[in-house]
Structure 1
Amino acid sequence: MNDDIRGQQDEPELLRDQVQQVLRHRVLVAGGLLAGLLAGGWFAYGSVATYESSSEVLVRAATINPYATNGVSVDKQINIGSERQMAAGNAVAERAAERLGRSADDAGDLQGHLQVTNPPDTLVLKFTYVAGAPKAAADGAAAFAQAYLDYRETQTTSTVTNMISGYEKQLDPLAKQREDLLDQIDQLQSDTEKGTALSAQANLLSQITELTNDISELKALDTTPGYITVKAEQPVKAEGLGTPMLIALGGVVGLALGLLGAWLRMIFDPAARSADTVSRALRAPVLGSLPRVPEEPLLAADGALAEQYRSVAFRLAYDRHFADRRRLLVVEPNGEGTTAAVVAVNLTACFAETGMSALLVEADLRHPDLARRLPEAPGARPGWAGREPADGTPWPGGRHIPVDAGESGTFDLVPGIRVPHVARTLTSAATTRLIDQADAPNTTVVVLAPPVLSYADALALVDRVDGVVVVCDPRTVARTALERIRELIDGAGGQVLGAVLHPGGRQRKGRRKPEGAVTIPASPVTAEAVTRDPLSSGTR
């Protein structure tokens, strides 16, 4: 059985188990979701609304004939990167501030609201302006676009004017030389001298004509810097995700953080939490999970709780490791052992219900109390009961109680008593002979021992039984505790048959003496008559 459990688990099952464990931390997940919704609402209602407006400008170069196809295209003369830097510069910002009716000192503040971009493979500059009001956003984008065009046209016009002025300064001396040369030609008589003067006149005329043509071209130059292709308009709604989207986004982020917190809580949570984790820690199957009931009786007569006990008992009765020799040890990891006692009593009753001769041995010699909690049934005692042990040990000889289990029938109880030396008593020959009653045909022996991690009593009985059933609450028991129990039982030569899970926090009947409970017959050696060793009497 354990070899099968040690096999590698399917990844989907492990993933499903982890998801279930994460979802068990509903408070963290719900807290993260609520925090995210609140944060989204705070951002939605607490942030200032912003409006964005854009204006686009098609940049063009100054040219005489924009449709001429010869030579290099004028568009190639434009460095759009430099134009974008110029559009976002201080000079354009000062002009935009003037158009908006603000001082030049506010240019830096206006630049903080502006973004100039260039769509790929175009000569278009997009001016995007962000403001707290729709009209302010539209006015800002329009002002920057027009300021850029004005500044660029001013620069182009200034350059053309300077060039014309330079050409005119070159043209005036040439014109004066030409006039002087014409006067000299009129006074010359020799043909040779006239030919030389006429040749000089032709050269001057050629230079004057070239300069005149350059001036004419510059004056005819179209200095239009570009065109506004998209005018800025007042935005209809504010920028951003909007209130519903912000709240939804906050909820998604909060849910993710809640799941992350739940996952971290699961990773660092020492408790087992799930049946699969208990099974992996013990390397044994979970035999059953007890339902939560308002008040748990010591003997469950009917209902879902009784059926679960019958299911566990049936599984144990047909387990190949337990069916050979009917010896079963029931323990808890830690605590007072009250839940293990309830499970041991009900399993014994279920075995008796199947027609077996069931015997319950209360090997908890530190805090025994089953005798006063279970009703006695009239009937004859077996032959081994009532005989004093040959080795003189105070337990278990001479103590036998038939217990009335209602419709399940009856079973025998060997109650525990306080003894001075617990370990010596549990390893005595009398205890071995008592547990060996399971060798009789159709007989089952269930042994109840104190918590494994609190006392070593259970380990003294491990090699005398055929298997151990661990009773635990997966929400409170640590994985390391279950692994420690498995190591201790394996080291003592025993085997964990499985686990029975029970929900914590259930209300149990008080430990009052029920009607029909018996008083343990006095023995030759009682707990009151013997001076106890503090270590063996259960004190720490």
Structure 2
Amino acid sequence: MTDSHVSPAGDEPELLRDQFRQLLRYRWLIGGGIGIGLIGGAYLGITSADSYAANSDIVVRTPTTNPFDSSTAPDKSVNMNTERQTALSSNVAQIAAKKLKDGTSARTLKKGLQVTTPPQSLTLRFTYTADSPEAAARGANALADAYLSASEKKWSDLRDSMVARLKRQIDPLGKQQNELAQQLDAMTKGTSAYDAQQTANVNLKSRISTLQNQRDTLMGLDMAAGSVTQEATPPTGSDGLGLVISLALGGAFGIAFGLLAAWVRLVFDPSPRSTGDVARAVRAPVLGSLPRGAAKGLLAVDQTGSRTAEEYRSIAFRLAYDARFADRRRLLVVAARDASAQAATSVATNLAASFAETGKDVLLVEADLRAPGLSARLHTTAGRPGWSLPADTDDNGWPGTRPLTVDAGEAGSFDLVAGQRVRNVARALTSTRTTQLIEDADESGSTVVVLAPPVLSYADALALVDRVDGVVIVCDLRSVHRTELVRIRELIVGAGGTVLGAVTHDEGGHPARDKGAAKGSGRRAAGSELPPPAPRPAPPVEQRLGDGTETVTLRQLRPEDLRTGDKR
């Protein structure tokens, strides 16, 4: 048998398709993301359908005496970032609210205002959004006018302050100059005192004249802070993207968000993403994948043309052509967890029927001595089976005196050694009688299929590994973890066995959700649709038989048992 679990190198398209299929496992996340995106898009489309935006442009400049003088160009002293912050201030919004006189608050105006500055320009663009075109145009024009008024007032207040300061300097100097003039009139011309006084008077007049020129310059400034180059007009259409475009954008965002959420969930999902992950974990091929719901039935090989029956036949033929199994024809079927115990029972029963269909003498051994009951679920007769059991020298009570014959319908029949409760499970499984029973498969045309409890719950399967050699692991892709599969393989190999492959099934949900599943409607003619077995009890340390005696069991401690402080 080839190692089908080894992926060919360079198969990038196949890997991408596999990853995409794994993302589709979380359709509810992808659907939730699309739903959120569509709801957001619909909300955006509806809320923006009644919003209108109007623009008003202003060219900013500073006060100047000669606007045509390039040496005093406004771009020499205007900081557009500062002017933009001024335009967005609450002061401008309050002035605009007073200008509108329609009850619009300054807070509403400020909330709907957006001021931008085109690059390499001295232009401020006021964009105001409102519920109607007329309100948008009025708001944009009012805010632009309010900005001009606020800027002009700022510059006027600054000029008035400077003029008042110059006046306070000129008045004392004027009084001083008048006193000097009176003193000069009383002095004799030509004297040195007169000349000194005359010089001081001239200097004082010159200083007064300079200050007066500065005041006159300030008084002659054009205090306009700018001019409106474009007045806002009522817009002809809404400012929103529209319901269709908003839904499209919301859907695209929802798909991206859903795929991202599914990818994150996939990365942190400890369960196998595909049968390829199972094959890599157990280092053996996946022999088959049961159709959904196939694990709930017990015997399906007798159904001619059934997809489930053909899957079991395919698994049987793959095992028959495996040299490791063909040499000894001993097969151990074991579940990974309790959730797959029913599936393991179905796999073991149908493989036995498939081998019997090819003409082999098949013996199915129910090595589950803790919750037996397979014989009650199959069509069995106490006829003359072709298998003889060795004498009970160990006084264990199991296997019984003789096997039962199972009618598998059109597939034929096979023999069954039913399980039963014993005082010491470990001694019964490792007894010489059990070993001789399994070794009967070495005879020509004989095959033994052994069904054991889940390997992660009990050590029963490990006690049988060295007698059976070939092991088939049955696991549910949604209930088992990749690390658990690796651990199962290590336990089997460490006990001297070989993992021939795995059989996967997917019941479409977590096992805990299936506790309330309905029971079967009755036994079919061949016994393929029968009531499921009673739930397996938790692995105890001690069990009691009907006579009150204690039963010694094997129990395997898991790491989580040690972490939770299980001292049993």
For the 8 Å contact 2:301–2:353, the answer to whether it is kept is no
The answer to whether residue 334 in structure 2 is matched with residue 331 in structure 1 is yes
Aligned-pair CA distance for 1:136: 2.3
Aligned counterpart, 2:443: 440
Counterpart-to-counterpart distance in 1, 2:320 and 2:496: 22
Corresponding residue number in structure 1 for 2:289: 289
Q: 1:373 is matched with which residue?
A: 378
How far residue 91 of structure 1 moved from its aligned partner, in angstroms, is: 6.6
> What residue number does 1:416 align with?
418
Aligned to 2:501: 498
Given that residues 398 and 422 in structure 2 are in contact (C-alpha distance below 8 angstroms), is that contact kept between their aligned partners in structure 1? Answer: no
- 1:342 and 2:384 matched: no
Q: Which residue of 2 aligns with 1:524?
A: none
Query: Conserved in 1, the CA contact under 8 Å of 2:380 and 2:404?
Result: no
State the match for 2:118 in structure 1.
119
Aligned partners of 1:420 and 1:531 also within 8 Å: no
Residue 287 of structure 1 deviates from its aligned partner by 0.6
Larger Rg: 1
Match of residue 318 from structure 1? 321
CA distance in 2: counterparts of 1:336 and 1:275, whole angstroms: 16
Name the count of aligned residue pairs. 514
By how many angstroms is 1:468 displaced?
A: 0.8
Aligned counterparts of 1:157 and 1:56: Cα–Cα separation in 2? 23
Would the aligned equivalents of 1:279 and 1:499 in 2 still touch at CA under 8 Å?
Answer: yes
What is the aligned counterpart of 2:551 among 516, 532, 535?
Answer: 535
Query: Which residue does 1:298 correspond to in 2?
Result: 299
Q: Deviations over 1:447-486 (max 9, x none)?
A: 2223334443322211001211122332334545544433
d(CA) in 2 for partners of 1:386, 1:95 = 106
TM-aligned CA deviation for residue 369 of structure 1: 3.2
The whole-number CA distance in structure 1 between the counterparts of 2:154 and 2:396 is 117
Superposition deviation, residue 389 in structure 1? 4.9
Question: Residues 17 and 536 from structure 1, CA distance in 2 versus in 1: closer, same or farther, beyond 3 angstroms?
Answer: farther
Q: Matched residues in 1 for 2:264 and 2:115: separation? A: 46
Q: Tell me if the contact between 1:362 and 1:414 (Cα under 8 Å) persists in the aligned partners.
A: yes
- Deviation of 1:510 after TM superposition, in Å, equals 4.7
- Residue 532 of structure 1 deviates from its aligned partner by 7.8
The answer to whether the 8 A contact 1:296-1:509 is kept is no
SS in structure 1 at match of 2:138: helix
- In 1, are the aligned partners of 2:22 and 2:266 still within 8 Å (CA)? yes
Cα offset, 1:446, TM superposition: 1.6
**3-state DSSP of counterpart to 2:140:** helix
Q: Are 2:426 and 1:427 equivalent residues in the alignment?
A: no
Who is 1:472 aligned against? 475
CA displacement at 1:129 relative to structure 2? 3.0
Aligned to 1:56: 57
Deviates more, 1:306-315 or 1:110-119: 110-119
Matched residue type, 1:331: V
User: Separation in 2 of the partners of 1:420 and 1:208?
Assistant: 126
Residue 235 of structure 1 and its aligned partner are, at CA, apart by 2.5
Listed one character per residue, the Cα deviations across residues 334-386 of structure 1 (whole Å, up to 9, x for unaligned) are: 259443233223212322333434333333345143377235597x755x626
Report the Cα distance in structure 1 between the residues aligned to 2:420 and 2:155, rounded to whole angstroms: 112
Q: What SS is found at the alignment partner of 1:425?
A: helix
Other-structure match for 1:31: 32
Deviation at 1:122, TM superposition (A): 1.4
| Residue matched to 1:193 | none
Q: What residue identity is the alignment partner of 2:460?
A: D
SS at match of 1:298: coil
5+ residue gaps, structure 1, are 177-202, 516-528
> Which SS does the other structure have where 2:314 is aligned?
helix
Give the Cα separation in 2 of the matches to 1:452 and 1:160.
95
Partner of 1:186: none
Percent of paired sites with the same residue: 47
Q: TM-score, normalised by structure 1?
A: 0.72
Aligned residues of 1:134 and 1:235 also touching (Cα < 8 A): yes
The residue type paired with residue 129 of structure 1 is Y
Asked if the contact 1:331–1:449 (Cα under 8 Å) also holds between the matched residues in 2, the reply is yes
- 1:111–1:375 distance in 2 versus 1, CA, 3 Å: closer
Equivalent in the alignment of 1:458? 461
Q: CA deviation at 1:139?
A: 1.6
Unaligned runs of 5+ in 2: 179-202, 508-513, 528-544, 556-567
Is the partner of 1:472 in helix, strand or coil? strand
Deviates more, 1:21-30 or 1:294-303: 294-303
1:461 counterpart SS class = helix
Q: CA RMSD in A?
A: 5.4
C-alpha distance 438-16 of structure 1, shift in aligned 2 (>3 A):
same
Q: Does structure 1 retain, via aligned residues, the 8 Å contact 2:64–2:72?
A: no
- Structure-to-structure mapping, 1:97-116, within 5 angstroms: 97-101=97-101, 110-111=109-110, 113-116=112-115
- 367-376 or 483-492, which moves further after superposition? 367-376
Distance in 2 (alpha carbons) for counterparts of 1:22 and 1:475 = 14
1:141 maps to which residue? 140
Instruction: Assess if the C-alpha contact under 8 Å between 1:419 and 1:537 holds in 2.
Output: no
What is the one-letter code of the residue matched to 1:322?
F
Q: In structure 2, how many angstroms separate the alpha carbons of the residues matched to 1:336 and 1:110?
A: 67
Equivalent residue letter for 1:51: Y
Q: Note the C-alpha offset of 1:276.
A: 3.1
Q: Distance in 1 between matches of 2:374 and 2:213?
A: 125
Residues 243 and 362 of structure 1: is their aligned pair in 2 closer, same or farther, counting only changes over 3 Å?
A: same
**Conservation of the 8 A alpha-carbon contact between 2:366 and 2:372:** no
Q: In structure 2, what residue type is equivalent to 1:326? A: R
C-alpha contact 1:273 1:476 (8 A) present in aligned 2: no
Give the drift of 1:111. 4.7
CA contact (8 A) 1:63 1:223 kept: yes
| Structure 2 partner of 1:361 | 365
Instruction: Describe the shift of the 1:99–1:514 C-alpha distance in structure 2 as closer, same or farther (beyond 3 A).
Output: closer
Per the alignment, in what secondary structure is the counterpart of residue 464 of structure 2?
A: helix
**Residue 385 of structure 1 contacts residue 399 of structure 1 at CA under 8 Å; is this kept in 2?**
yes
Deviations 1:198-243 (A, max 9, x none): xxxxx9xx99999999999999976665432221122234444444
Quote how far apart the aligned CAs of 1:262 are: 4.3
Query: Contact 1:420–1:532 (CA<8 Å) still a contact in 2?
Result: no
In the TM superposition, 1:170-249 aligns within 5 A as 225-249=225-249
Q: Distance in 2 between matches of 1:106 and 1:396?
A: 93
SS at 2:346 equivalent = helix
Does the C-alpha gap of structure 1 residues 269 and 82 become closer, same or farther in structure 2, counting only changes over 3 Å?
Answer: closer
SS in 2 for 1:322: helix
The residue type equivalent to 1:133 in the other structure is S
Contact map agreement 2:460 2:554 (CA 8 A) in 1: no
